């Protein structure tokens, strides 16, 4: 009886607890669903955030690519601008200055371009700062013309390395260098670019770059001086060229006056100084009238014909003043060849190049260094008196060893027809970076691009100051 009563109570309680159990089951089910929903929501949120971050990164990458393309197009526009500037201002072979056209932060669209130049006398001027201008190729030694004595005087060079360079370009080279072990042979023909030096046995990156690894003309904080100096020591890339040539004709195709041909020089002197003075100058030059071509005399004696190896020798012999020589100097040449190759521009060559040139011409190193230093200082102080090679005589004196030695060879000029334009572009909002070096030639009257090389791989070349200026522009 008791058992029946207990069983009945249990059944009754079970019946009464059934709704509660059902409710607990429903609550547990709902909680499970909520947890699943929360997990799904969290997963979807993570996916949304992931894709949002991906899109943000892609947007930034797209903006960077667009800025890089803009910088590249700015380079092309700047190259056209340089061509225009050369056509406008580089008349008669006279070097243009950065005061005649924009060289810094040139706006092209939303990009900016800098024309990165070189300071020809950083130590003398006390500057280790970026310079913005065109680079004169005639201010460097021509690899295809300089002799081994001159090449050996460049930074980091030795007589062995200089001989190897000459051997590489020589059609009948005699040095037995181990190129076969390197997998190639010596070229035995002229250099086509300065970068070709990398193939010459013994030439290293230190020889090419010096301590200026990013080739911007200054010693940056992350660059180590090879000499302990506060200034950059240039390498072969900055002291040599293969592009220097000077035309012996005008832009319209008419030939220059050859000082070794009497009829030509007499005509120029007559028109410039009058007949009477022209005769006096011709006599000092050593021309005597006779029955030969252009002699102007009726006798049968042949006319004396002096041979001037250089315009410097012509100037020293003529007795002309510096001002008078400058009047006719752009009209003169000493050869019948169409072009003269490898002349070095006295107005733009640094002391290192001038010293090497003078040693190559036969001066002792000490005398060459002294003459080069004097010339660099003189031109810094007399910027308006550099219109012809006659200023070298004014700076050193007629009897200076460098003057008399250089007068015997056609190695000097004050005109330039090939220019390097090291163009550095930064895209919109400081994004995008391109750097391309161009070599322009105006020897035929119309600017033409001879060479271009992408230097973007060398990294940032504009220094901290320009970086800060760009940042300030963006903040505005």
238: nearest Cα among 96, 389, 119 = 119
User: Is-contact 239 210, C-beta < 8 A?
Assistant: no
| pLDDT of the residue at 1 | 56
Q: What is the pLDDT along the chain (476 residues), one digit of tens a residue?
A: 555 565 665 565 555 556 665 666 666 677 788 888 888 888 888 888 888 888 888 888 888 899 999 999 999 999 999 999 999 998 888 877 777 899 999 999 999 999 999 887 665 555 678 999 999 999 999 999 999 999 999 999 999 999 999 999 998 877 778 788 888 888 899 999 999 999 999 999 999 999 999 999 888 888 888 877 777 888 999 999 999 999 999 888 899 999 999 999 999 999 999 999 999 999 999 997 653 344 444 444 455 678 999 999 999 999 999 999 999 999 999 999 999 999 999 999 999 999 999 999 999 999 999 999 999 999 999 988 999 999 999 999 999 999 999 999 999 999 999 999 999 999 998 889 999 999 999 998 899 999 999 999 999 999 989 998 888 888 77
**Both tokens assigned to 315:** 């100037």
| pLDDT of the residue at 64 | 84
| pLDDT of the residue at 160 | 95
pTM: 0.85
| Cβ count within 10 A of residue 173 | 16
Domain map (residue ranges) of the chain = 92-246+344-475, 249-336
Alpha-carbon gap, residue 80 to 320, rounded angstroms = 41
**Secondary structure of the chain as H, E, C letters:** CHHHHHHHHHHHHHHHHHHHHHHHHHHHHHHHHHHHHHHHHHHHHHHHHHHHHHHHHHHHHHHHHHHHHHHHHHHHHHHHHHHHHHHHHCHHHCCCCCCCCCCCCEEECCEEEEEECCCCCHHHHCCCCCCECCEEHHHCEECCCCCHHHHCCCCCCCHHHHHHHHHHHCCCCCCCCCCHHHCCCCCCCCCCCHHHHHHCCCCCHHHHHCCCCCCCCCCCCCCCCCCCCCCCCCCHHHHEECCCEEECECCCCCECEECCCHHHHHHHHHHHHCHHHHHHHHHHHCCECCCCCCCCCCCCCCCECCCCCCHHHHHHHHCCCHHHHHHHHHHEECCCCCEEECCEECCCCCHHHHHHHHHHHCCCHHHHHHHHHHHHHHHHHCCCCCCCCHHHHHHHCCCCHHHHHHCCCCCEECCCCEEEEEEEEECHHHCCEEEEEEEEECCCCCCEEEEEEECHHHCCCCHHHHHHHHHHHHHC
- Furthest CA-CA distance within the chain: 173
Alpha-carbon gap, residue 441 to 419, rounded angstroms = 7
| Cβ count within 10 A of residue 79 | 19
| pLDDT of the residue at 122 | 62
| pLDDT of the residue at 299 | 44
Alpha-carbon gap, residue 218 to 212, rounded angstroms = 7
């Amino acid at each position: 009886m008791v058992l029946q009563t207990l069983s009945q109570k249990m059944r009754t309680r079970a019946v009464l607890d059934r709704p509660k159990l059902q409710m607990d089951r429903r609550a547990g089910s709902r909680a499970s669903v909520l947890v699943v929903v929360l997990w799904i929501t969290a997963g979807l949120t993570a996916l949304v955030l992931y894709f949002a971050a991906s899109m943000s990164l892609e947007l930034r990458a797209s903006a960077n690519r667009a800025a890089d393309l803009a910088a590249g197009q700015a380079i092309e526009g700047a190259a056209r601008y340089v061509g225009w500037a050369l056509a406008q201002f580089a008349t008669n072979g006279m070097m243009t200055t950065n005061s005649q056209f924009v060289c810094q932060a040139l706006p092209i669209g939303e990009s900016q371009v800098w024309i990165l130049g070189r300071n020809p006398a950083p130590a003398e001027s006390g500057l280790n700062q970026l310079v913005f201008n065109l680079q004169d190729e005639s201010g460097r030694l021509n690899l295809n013309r300089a002799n081994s004595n001159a090449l050996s005087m460049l930074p980091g060079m030795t007589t062995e390395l200089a001989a190897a360079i000459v051997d590489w370009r020589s059609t009948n080279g005699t040095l037995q260098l181990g190129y076969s072990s390197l997998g190639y042979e010596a070229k035995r023909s002229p250099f086509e670019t300065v970068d070709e030096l990398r193939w010459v046995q013994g030439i290293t990156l230190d020889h090419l770059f010096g301590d200026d690894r990013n080739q911007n003309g200054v010693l940056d904080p992350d660059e180590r001086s090879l000499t302990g100096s506060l200034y950059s020591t240039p390498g072969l890339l900055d002291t040599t060229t293969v592009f220097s040539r000077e035309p012996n004709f005008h832009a319209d195709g008419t030939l220059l006056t050859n000082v070794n041909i009497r009829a030509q020089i007499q005509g120029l002197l007559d028109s410039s100084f009058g007949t009477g003075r022209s005769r006096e100058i011709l006599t000092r030059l050593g021309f005597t009238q006779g029955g030969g071509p252009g002699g102007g005399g009726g006798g049968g004696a042949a006319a004396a014909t002096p041979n001037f190896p250089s315009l410097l020798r012509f100037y020293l012999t003529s007795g002309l003043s510096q001002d008078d020589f400058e009047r006719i100097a752009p009209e003169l040449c000493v050869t019948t060849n169409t072009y003269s190759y490898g002349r070095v521009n006295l107005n733009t060559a640094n002391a290192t190049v001038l010293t090497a040139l003078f040693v190559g011409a036969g001066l002792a190193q000490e005398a060459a260094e002294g003459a080069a230093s004097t010339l660099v200082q003189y031109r810094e102080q007399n910027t308006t008196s550099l219109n012809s090679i006659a200023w070298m005589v004014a700076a050193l004196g007629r009897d200076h060893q460098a003057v008399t030695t250089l007068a015997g060879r056609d190695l000097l000029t004050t005109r330039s027809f090939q220019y390097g334009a090291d163009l550095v572009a930064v895209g919109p909002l400081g994004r995008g970076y391109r750097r391309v070096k161009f070599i322009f030639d105006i020897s035929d009257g119309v600017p033409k691009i001879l060479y271009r090389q992408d230097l973007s791989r060398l990294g940032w070349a504009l220094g901290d100051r320009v970086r800060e200026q760009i940042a300030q522009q963006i903040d505005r």
